[in-house]
Structure 1
Amino acid sequence: MLQPQNKTTRYEHVMPQLVGIRQNDKIKGLLVVLNTIGGDVEAGLAISEMLVSLGKPVVSIVLGGGHSIGMALAVASDYSFISPSSTMTLHPIRMNGTVIGVQQTFEYFDKMQDTIIDFVVRHSRITKERLKELILDTKNIAKDVGTVIIGEQAVKEGIIDEVGGLDKAM
């Protein structure tokens, strides 16, 4: 999708490409290959919304990592795969930097987290209650909140459809 000289994927590059894919009648479907540590929550959610409304078959595969907002990207497909050794980190929304309005920022984070949870629940088989348990777990990651899941566990939890590699995803 991106030029070979691009070493990282930027959201502002992906979104116009998705519009182009939608408008191109020669493209019959899309394979989304994910290896991400996450990033901009709003941009990731925007891309996820674009994927589910693309109007063409979308298959996703997590190869390496599908961390943070990568979870929403992974489930924003008609069918999803994860390789046996790939991992996903599920955690609450967080930020770095100065916070001016603490209460307002907390309320914004709470709304965004609910939006992401609702999106993942709508596009996977995991329940809202179970996803919240995993995201808010305090025993799984040392000195942090959340859960790291690997390959088969992502399928057992109902987040991803099937364990498999590129051969199955194609």
Structure 2
Amino acid sequence: MNRKRFWNWKEPDEKEPRTLYLNGTIAEESWFEDDVTPELFREELYADEGDIVVWINSPGGDVIAGAQIYNMLLDYPGHVTIKIDGIAASAASVIAMAGDLLFMSPVSMMMIHNPMTVAIGDHVEMEKAIDMLASFKDSIINAYEKKTGLSRDELSLLMDAETWMDVGKAMELGFCDSVLQTASDYVYNESKPTMLFSRKAVTNSLLIKVKESHAVSANELVSRLDTIKNQWR
């Protein structure tokens, strides 16, 4: 099964550790029930040893992919440094929480918000979808809570408000440890141009996928919830 890659490795040299770039949409094609893409990511992560640097420039994407990548990085035995040079929004902000240290560029942004989906069915199906989204939110808060030390109620309110943070605000709230300050903090990033989050764009994307797949049942959404619950620790 071929999937569009959203990650790229730069092998270490004398000056730089292993470097991972996460660019663009995280799993543009959902890897739910896809055993190939997650395993490929894991194999490449563990293909070598030592500390790694992860550069993030992503508007977010698939919450299940974000959960699995978060757990893989969290479990990695080496030191993981996260550097946000563009944007880390939505699922990408969750991945960023896996770093032992998290740095943001003076001009980068982080955004957290409530999970969203599209579901089709009667009122029972809609109630299942609402419950599913609430549980997804609780799971995501686990990652934010571990990093920031903020209360779950505080984090819930920040997600409700769709909170955008520059480096100063992110440091104030505990999402970021420090700012990238010197030229040596930056390395050449073969990234795509920064992609800003747009609620309209995300909604349109979801609607297109629903049309292509004809429907997403609440039962399937609940199944996805069970998958992500098994991923969070």
Same fold (TM over 0.5): yes
**Misfit runs of 4+, over 4 Å:** 7-15
Residue 2 of structure 1 aligns with which residue? 8
Post-superposition Cα deviations, 1:4-60, rounded to whole Å, max 9, x if no partner, equal 9xx857646575243333253xx3111110011000011111101110001111110
Residue type of the alignment partner of 1:164 = L
Gaps of 5+ in 2: 1-6, 11-22, 28-35, 188-233
Answering whether residue 82 of structure 2 is matched by residue 60 of structure 1, we say yes
CA contact (8 A) 1:31 1:169 kept: no
Residue 147 of structure 1 aligns with which residue? 163
User: Quick one: structure 1 residues 120 and 167, their matched pair in 2 at CA, closer, same or farther if it must change by over 3 Å?
Assistant: farther
Residue 158 of structure 1 aligns with which residue? 174
The CA deviation at 1:167 is 3.1
Match of 1:70 among 92, 97, 102: 92
Q: For residues 75 and 155 of structure 2, what CA distance do their matches in structure 1 show?
A: 23
Q: For residues 119 and 58 of structure 1, what CA distance do their matches in structure 2 show?
A: 15
Residue 35 of structure 1 aligns with which residue? 57
Aligned residues, how many?
157
Q: For residues 160 and 26 of structure 2, what CA distance do their matches in structure 1 show?
A: 28
Residue type of the alignment partner of 1:33 = W
User: Quick one: structure 1 residues 95 and 83, their matched pair in 2 at CA, closer, same or farther if it must change by over 3 Å?
Assistant: same
Gaps of 5+ in 1: 138-145
The share of aligned pairs that are identical, in percent, is 22
CA contact (8 A) 2:25 2:61 kept: no
SS state at 1:48 partner = helix
Q: TM-score, normalised by structure 1?
A: 0.80
SS state at 1:160 partner = coil
The CA deviation at 1:125 is 3.6
Q: For residues 41 and 131 of structure 1, what CA distance do their matches in structure 2 show?
A: 17
Answering whether residue 132 of structure 2 is matched by residue 111 of structure 1, we say no
Residue 151 of structure 2 aligns with which residue? 127
Post-superposition Cα deviations, 1:127-165, rounded to whole Å, max 9, x if no partner, equal 32322121112xxxxxxxx11111111111111111115
Residue 99 of structure 1 aligns with which residue? 120
Residue type of the alignment partner of 2:79 = P
Residue type of the alignment partner of 2:150 = I
Residue type of the alignment partner of 1:150 = D
Residue 167 of structure 1 aligns with which residue? 184
Q: TM-score, normalised by structure 2?
A: 0.60
The CA deviation at 1:62 is 1.0
Q: For residues 16 and 56 of structure 1, what CA distance do their matches in structure 2 show?
A: 19
CA contact (8 A) 1:22 1:56 kept: no
The CA deviation at 1:3 is 7.3
SS state at 2:8 partner = coil
